[in-house]
Amino acid sequence: MTGLGIGSRAQRRPGAAARGRTDTAAPAGHRDAAGHRAGVEPSGAPLRPMGAPRSLIFWCLLSVVLSQRVKVRNEVTGYVGDEAMLQCLFPTTSSEIKVSQVTWMKEMGGKKQNVAVYLPDHKPNFPLDNSGRLRFLNVSLQDATLIIQPLRMSDEGTYICEFATYPHGNEDGVTKLSILARPTNTAESRKVVVGNTTIPVAVCTSANGKPPARITWTSSLPGNFNASEVTNEDGTVTVTSQFNMVPMAVADQQQITCVINQRTLAKPENVLVTLSVLCE
């Protein structure tokens, strides 16, 4: 709509140039020449965007409300071998909304694959895994909470919980499942001979963890350390660190400590190593 009190109230002479003019929004309660308040239809109702039917606005708002009905946790973290619970609820009290099916899908290679399906009068179906690792917490059209146990690294990914409803169509929620793996930590010395060159005298390994561990060393002996990582086929990471020093006779039977920090550990894990330095 135009002419609703925008700009100066003074009338310009035809052909006069506008100098230093700043358009401002009309103050609340301002009325145009026809006596209408700015931003309000003659009927008193708030202005609608031009060309937007009331029915379209209604269905857009309804779609937002329905999507908010699907209750999921945006992110879930689990550990390899443990259990993960992917919550998904559709709590509706409206007798007009009918749910005919619930489906869990997983995004795989850019596509959505069904992983769990429930239809009334049918047993729950798990198309990608019939080993019994997947199950519904409750077999219900309002509660599609999914249990996965024991977790594997391959379970990590994005899951979509979908309710087929009538008459409003499909409503869904998305959950990202992250999988962590507790590493196996070991450390040992290497038998070395007294010499003048810096060489590895101990090695510490944090195997099959996710995320990868951070390894450091504590020692009263002069030396340094380095680390390398290898990503395994299942997505876990093995970290190997070497403690390096010039092997001296005085270092034989001395203890140094490998310190492993990793997200799944409640506190850093310390592994003692007794050095073995032999005389020629």
CA distance 104 to 87: 11
Pinpoint the residues of the chain covered by CATH 2.60.40.10.
Answer: 69-180, 184-278
Query: What is the model's pLDDT at position 147?
Result: 98
Query: What is the model's pLDDT at position 93?
Result: 64
Query: What is the model's pLDDT at position 53?
Result: 52
Of 3.30.70.1050, 3.30.9.10, 2.160.10.10, 2.60.40.10, which CATH number belongs to 69-180?
A: 2.60.40.10
* Cβ contact 99:163 at 8 Å: yes
* Cβ contact 264:182 at 8 Å: yes
Query: What is the model's pLDDT at position 168?
Result: 81
Whether the bond between 167 and the residue before it is cis, its omega within 30 degrees of 0, is yes
Query: What is the model's pLDDT at position 130?
Result: 77
- Number of Cβ within 10 Å of residue 134's Cβ equals 20
Q: Which residues of the chain have pLDDT under 70?
A: 1-68, 93
Q: How far is CA 75 from the centre of its chain?
A: 5
Question: 81 — phi, psi (to 5°)?
Answer: 90, -15
Query: What is the model's pLDDT at position 68?
Result: 57
DSSP 186-206: EEEE--EE--SS-EEEEEEEE
Backbone angle region of 87, left / alpha / beta, with phi > 0 → left and psi within -120 to 50 → alpha: beta
Length of the chain: 280
In CATH, what class is 184-278? mainly beta
Tens-digit pLDDT profile for residues 218-265: 999 999 999 999 999 999 999 999 999 999 999 999 999 999 999 999
Query: What is the model's pLDDT at position 201?
Result: 98
* Cβ contact 243:267 at 8 Å: no
* Cβ contact 241:203 at 8 Å: yes
